[in-house]
Structure 1
Amino acid sequence: MIKNKSIAVLPFVNLSNNIDNEYFCDGLTEEIIYALAKIKDLVVTSRTSSFYFKNKKVTANEIREKLRVATFIEGSVRASKKRMRITVQMIDTLEDFHFWSETFDRNPDDIFEIQDEISLFIAEKLREHVGHIEIEDKLVEPIDVPVNIYREYLKGRYYLMKLDYDSSLKAIEIFKSIIKKSPKFANPYLDINQAYTFMGTMGLLPAFEAFQKAQPFFEKAMSLNPNSSRVQLNLSWIECWQNWNLKKAFEHANKALEIQQADDIYLTISNFLTVEGKLDAARNYLDKALQLDPYAAINHHYKGFLYYLQEDYSTAIPFLKKALELDPMLPFPPIYIGICLLMSGKPNEALTYFGSLEGVSVKDLTKLGGKTMCYAKLNETEKCNDGLKELETYLTTPLVDKAFTFLILVNALLGNNEKVVDLVTQAYHSRLPLILLLNPSPILKPVKNHKGFKEIMLKAIPDNVNYKQKKKYKQALLDTNEIKKYSKELEQIMIDYKLYLNPDLSLKDLASYLELPANYVSQLLNLGFQKNFSEYVNSYRVNEFKERVLLEEYKGLTLMAVAYDSGFNSKTVFNTFFKKIEGTTPNSYLRSNQAN
């Protein structure tokens, strides 16, 4: 089902024979996407999927079918030294008609005002067309840098988003030059961090070297703008993958989500839930990421990866192949395409697949590790031992993480459980991030209950559902002890994960966190709290609103803006529940507490 309040912004077309104007067009498109994403009850397609259609002729029906949006924006920019003409039009994808078009003739030096003006125009016209949405007075905050430096920054972003090695290095050069001229401009630090992290993740640089280079730039960005969504998202990654503190990781990720809905934030939360073994909940969040960015290769890869973890190999492979179709250089899908073939009883087909790999997947040990796994499954002992010896040579190189991963998986397939535990223990003491993804691996099921393996997993991931007693569900209602037990567990989950801040939270989402069927959770809410789902979740949102509305940082916002930040997505629902719970209106509550 396509939401009525959903929109995509296609890349603005450059009508000038000037490459600098191309940078501006892409930058303007990005800024409008980012600005509209701040509107809480609006679904905005992310950058990757919007830019998939750059320089392509598409119909309204194609946009509706491929991006699943009710409305989209297209525009063009023609610029000279003194004037800039920007044409913007809004199209209804169902009826295929242009219900709004506007031309802006502006001074090119007024770049921040242009971005804000156009974003607000789009939001206002969209509200007229689809119904009420709460819009702030300003959607684009001006950046305190000269216009010529900001234009240079857009050039850096242009190269950064090409997502290849040479362009990433060029972007880093540009950003470093900007930092020398404007050292208090936070964005270039974050973008250098992103460039190095990308190259390390994709295997274009040794991961350790790349992350080490990225770290000082991130720390500087954090000191300049600690409350940006991108900073909070990076902090969540650090807490998970470096510090192994999932509680703090969730806190930072949820804070990022409060600031802005974005597919990479939903994907990140899905990652964390996967680490804990909460695969149903992880898939719910991943589906939200795919809704916002259906052309992001990493989102399709992760959907396939989740099906792989649930041992649904035939369903996993098409998602993994789609990821490679969207980004042939993405290093992760080939690993799991081959393993899915191997684990579904096709070792020879898997061996042929791994043997045919070229490019990134060869450099990152996927070909070597994959073939060695196949030899283990095919009982080709000599070739398997040769592969193991070669993998061991990489334990003192930047590819140590991948080498450990394949050594662990191969030994698990051979049934060498003691060797697996020894390798896992070494990886744990070296604080290698791979430890966190061993938890849900189907290949490691035979070693899961080994005392040494279990101890390591519970040290790394205390809230580990793989080591909770399996629940057997019965037809009758939950008994008194179960209601008490699950009520406490649910309250702790609401506190730790702040699920109520997600305006699209469903009963199914809540159930996936408890690892219970949805009908059990519905019974639990009724019997344990005497509330239905809406009453239960909105009571948390009301309490959140009461706390926020009295804080100094929220004094400049409208009551509804605070309500949206607290998880509500409807003015009527907010007012109704607030009065029902508090016995007074939000305005009266605020006046009474301000007086005190």
Structure 2
Amino acid sequence: MNKKSIAVLPFVNMSNDINNEYFCDGLTEEIINALAKIKQLSVTSRTSSFYFKNKTVTVEQIREKLNVATFIEGSVRTSKRKMRITVQMIDTLEDFHFWSEVFDRNPEDVFEIQEEISHFIAEKLREHIGHLEIEDKLIERYEVPVPVYREYLKGRYYLMKLDYDSSLKAIEIFKSIIERSPNFVNPYLDINQAYTFMGTMGLLPAFEAFQKAQSFFEKARSLSPNSSRVQLNLAWIECWQNWNLKKAYEHANKALETQPTDEIYLTISNLLTVEGKLGPAQNYIDKALELDPFSSINHHYKGFLYYLQEDYDKAKRYLEKALELNPNLPFPPIYIGNSLLLSGKPIEALSYFNTLSGISIKDLTKLGGKTMCYAVLGETTKCDDGIKELESYLTSDLVEKALIFLILVYALLENEDKVLEYVKEAFNNHLPLVLLLNPSPVLKSFKNNQHYKDIMLRAIPDNVNYKQKKKYKQALLDTNEVTRYSKELKQIMIDYKLYLNPDLSLKDLASYLDLPANYVSQLLNLGFQKNFSEYINTFRINEFKERILLEENKGLTIMAIAYDSGFNSKTVFNTFFKKIEGVTPNAYLKSHR
């Protein structure tokens, strides 16, 4: 267990006023966001923290379920003139309360309250677990009147219920806030999030939902282009809409620099999956699950990666856990059924798809899944009927879902012409499903089809599944190979800034070159006269030297900037910096400012 790990449980509303409930949830969320800015601290995400709302739990349960060394709990009681907030911190390893504090404050001083409590928690945490680099400002003060902010918290309360009616209610609240405070960026981002959620979950037609979200996102982007949430959205847009993975990585890494969250680690895992780099993708989804172990989508994606790697038993376990956490999640059923089908259990798979309940007919999972089973079982008439019904949706809003099932069915039927016909149709219409075909185990037999490979490489030029496979020698790389790969590696480091990931491994680096790890180790030695750590840390030092001189970073400590540059150890940073520069970081800073 990481000693520097913490969860903030939802603050308990000790008043009868529902408005105080909004404030309690908002205060909890703001403290989580504030603590997440501390680079060395692992902070459990909102989803997992709020899993325990209104539940009575023991210290042991928190330790086991969230895998944290400490957690915060508190309560809020309000009257017209006074707000009393009680906060206490509990050590899960020793099972004791090592401090408790009561704050009596004016309810109108909402921003000062959030900042004060966040800093108080951070300072007490540092006293208890060891050194942390704490910024002077942890809470972003919104330039809006307090009544508007309280109304905003009400909107967040409904948004995070994650259902159709609550999402619409949240959108209505956020729109009224925009009318009063048009330069407040958060409501635009939250409306974008609400529509995106409804489109992704099938609660609205995806195209309609994303179209409605677009104008709100563009306004948020104009107001705060560098915010973590804006950069994260841009990463998704560049990947799924523009098919530009290089730019998608750039935006995802910017978001990661600003505030590491499980959503960002999940996004990077997505990008790596699209390229077929399933090993590194596993590393990132594991990090997302570490921060948010009760996130249904994180469990789904972990299961999806096992499915892609044809480890169907493990895939089913994670996919079923995702449905346990959120029975309305539309994605896991198709991969649970497919895991049964592809592991040689077509009768069991057919039974699973037949008994699916709570799945909208517009989802097509039941129809598509059953048709795939009929294809494998050789039930021609039923399969043909399923294909005809799927084809009837090709002129509807469900064209993308229909196409992906038709491609999978025809792949199982080994009908090469039909697979290519529908893949081309998807590609020509720039449908995101093309990116999902890349690592699909159902389509692995098509990897040797030149026409299919050409389409995949046009969509994803760096696709590791379809690039020409290299034959490696037992001997060391020759001079020409060292020169070529050294140049390619340097460009990868510049384009993707892999060194900003503090958990980067030699194996991760090797996946970007499509070389075995031992070859990359040889390459670093022969081409750069460095081992892996020396090579990566050199980039981190250069990044630090650039950042430390920026005006915007003058208020940050040296170590805060070092952590932003990819280092995760003060000792390693100081030692390596002096080795490279010949002076300490402090001396360097004094001589250059």
Give me the TM-score of the superposition, normalised by structure 1.
0.97
1:267 counterpart residue number: 266
Q: Are the counterparts in 2 of residues 301 and 332 from structure 1 also a CA contact under 8 Å?
A: yes
2:302 counterpart residue number: 303
Q: Are the counterparts in 2 of residues 334 and 361 from structure 1 also a CA contact under 8 Å?
A: no
Spell out, residue by residue over 1:286-311, the C-alpha distance to the aligned partner (whole angstroms, 9 max, x if none): 11101100100001111111111111
How far 1:521 moved relative to its partner?
A: 3.6
1:238 counterpart residue number: 237
Cα distance in 1 between the residues matched to 2:126 and 2:50: 24
* Cα 1:183/1:289, change in 2 over 3 Å: same
Cα distance in 2 between the residues matched to 1:388 and 1:217: 39
- Taking only the aligned residue pairs, the percentage that are identical comes to 79
Cα distance in 2 between the residues matched to 1:293 and 1:518: 30
Query: Does 2:498 align with 1:496?
Result: no
2:512 counterpart residue number: 513
1:205 counterpart residue number: 204
How far 1:478 moved relative to its partner?
A: 4.7
1:196 counterpart residue number: 195
Amino acid at match of 2:265: Y
Of residues 415-424 and 443-452 in structure 1, the stretch that sits farther from structure 2 once superposed is 443-452
2:452 counterpart residue number: 453
Q: Are the counterparts in 1 of residues 11 and 25 from structure 2 also a CA contact under 8 Å?
A: yes
2:372 counterpart residue number: 373
Listed as ranges, the matches of 1:160-199 within 5 Å are 160-199=159-198
Cα distance in 2 between the residues matched to 1:250 and 1:401: 25
SS of 1:78 mapped into structure 2: strand
2:217 counterpart residue number: 218
Q: Are the counterparts in 2 of residues 144 and 185 from structure 1 also a CA contact under 8 Å?
A: yes
Q: Are the counterparts in 2 of residues 331 and 361 from structure 1 also a CA contact under 8 Å?
A: no
Amino acid at match of 2:153: L
How far 1:60 moved relative to its partner?
A: 1.6
Q: Are the counterparts in 2 of residues 14 and 78 from structure 1 also a CA contact under 8 Å?
A: yes
Amino acid at match of 1:363: K
Of residues 450-459 and 365-374 in structure 1, the stretch that sits farther from structure 2 once superposed is 450-459
Listed as ranges, the matches of 1:311-460 within 5 Å are 311-360=310-359, 362-460=361-459
Q: Are the counterparts in 2 of residues 511 and 521 from structure 1 also a CA contact under 8 Å?
A: yes
Spell out, residue by residue over 1:16-70, the C-alpha distance to the aligned partner (whole angstroms, 9 max, x if none): 1111111001000000000111111111110001111111111222111111111
Cα distance in 1 between the residues matched to 2:511 and 2:453: 23
Q: List gaps (5 residues or longer) in structure 2.
A: none
How far 1:554 moved relative to its partner?
A: 2.0
How far 1:471 moved relative to its partner?
A: 4.8
Cα distance in 1 between the residues matched to 2:584 and 2:26: 43
2:112 counterpart residue number: 113
Of residues 579-588 and 468-477 in structure 1, the stretch that sits farther from structure 2 once superposed is 468-477
How far 1:479 moved relative to its partner?
A: 4.9
Cα distance in 2 between the residues matched to 1:429 and 1:217: 28
How far 1:513 moved relative to its partner?
A: 3.4
Of residues 443-452 and 552-561 in structure 1, the stretch that sits farther from structure 2 once superposed is 552-561
SS of 1:101 mapped into structure 2: strand
SS of 1:100 mapped into structure 2: strand
SS of 1:91 mapped into structure 2: strand
SS of 1:557 mapped into structure 2: coil
Q: Are the counterparts in 2 of residues 301 and 320 from structure 1 also a CA contact under 8 Å?
A: yes
2:11 counterpart residue number: 12
SS of 1:72 mapped into structure 2: strand
Amino acid at match of 1:550: L
2:39 counterpart residue number: 40
Cα distance in 2 between the residues matched to 1:121 and 1:466: 50
How far 1:420 moved relative to its partner?
A: 0.8
Cα distance in 2 between the residues matched to 1:335 and 1:518: 34
Spell out, residue by residue over 1:130-160, the C-alpha distance to the aligned partner (whole angstroms, 9 max, x if none): 1111000110021000101100000000000
Of residues 85-94 and 480-489 in structure 1, the stretch that sits farther from structure 2 once superposed is 480-489
SS of 1:253 mapped into structure 2: helix
Q: Are the counterparts in 1 of residues 245 and 271 from structure 2 also a CA contact under 8 Å?
A: yes
Spell out, residue by residue over 1:545-584, the C-alpha distance to the aligned partner (whole angstroms, 9 max, x if none): 1112222322332322222211122333222211111112
Cα distance in 2 between the residues matched to 1:362 and 1:326: 22
2:50 counterpart residue number: 51
SS of 2:310 mapped into structure 1: coil
Of residues 477-486 and 196-205 in structure 1, the stretch that sits farther from structure 2 once superposed is 477-486
Cα distance in 2 between the residues matched to 1:363 and 1:223: 36
SS of 2:148 mapped into structure 1: helix
* Cα 1:479/1:91, change in 2 over 3 Å: farther
Cα distance in 1 between the residues matched to 2:360 and 2:495: 38
Listed as ranges, the matches of 1:49-88 within 5 Å are 49-88=48-87
Q: List gaps (5 residues or longer) in structure 1.
A: none
Of residues 456-465 and 553-562 in structure 1, the stretch that sits farther from structure 2 once superposed is 553-562
Amino acid at match of 2:281: A
SS of 1:395 mapped into structure 2: coil
Of residues 557-566 and 332-341 in structure 1, the stretch that sits farther from structure 2 once superposed is 557-566
Of residues 327-336 and 523-532 in structure 1, the stretch that sits farther from structure 2 once superposed is 523-532
Cα distance in 2 between the residues matched to 1:40 and 1:491: 27
How far 1:199 moved relative to its partner?
A: 0.3
* Coordinate RMSD, CA, aligned: 1.5
How far 1:516 moved relative to its partner?
A: 4.3
Corresponding residue pairs, total: 593
Amino acid at match of 2:75: S
Cα distance in 1 between the residues matched to 2:172 and 2:270: 31
Q: Are the counterparts in 2 of residues 71 and 92 from structure 1 also a CA contact under 8 Å?
A: yes
Q: Are the counterparts in 1 of residues 238 and 245 from structure 2 also a CA contact under 8 Å?
A: yes
Of residues 274-283 and 545-554 in structure 1, the stretch that sits farther from structure 2 once superposed is 545-554
Cα distance in 1 between the residues matched to 2:506 and 2:83: 50
SS of 2:465 mapped into structure 1: helix
Q: Are the counterparts in 1 of residues 257 and 564 from structure 2 also a CA contact under 8 Å?
A: yes
Amino acid at match of 2:205: P
Query: Does 2:575 align with 1:576?
Result: yes
* Cα 1:92/1:474, change in 2 over 3 Å: farther
Q: Are the counterparts in 2 of residues 278 and 515 from structure 1 also a CA contact under 8 Å?
A: no
Of residues 192-201 and 511-520 in structure 1, the stretch that sits farther from structure 2 once superposed is 511-520
1:150 counterpart residue number: 149
Cα distance in 1 between the residues matched to 2:100 and 2:504: 35
Q: Are the counterparts in 1 of residues 456 and 466 from structure 2 also a CA contact under 8 Å?
A: no
Of residues 461-470 and 501-510 in structure 1, the stretch that sits farther from structure 2 once superposed is 501-510
Q: Are the counterparts in 2 of residues 159 and 170 from structure 1 also a CA contact under 8 Å?
A: yes
Give me the TM-score of the superposition, normalised by structure 2.
0.97
2:27 counterpart residue number: 28
Cα distance in 1 between the residues matched to 2:325 and 2:36: 24
SS of 1:394 mapped into structure 2: coil
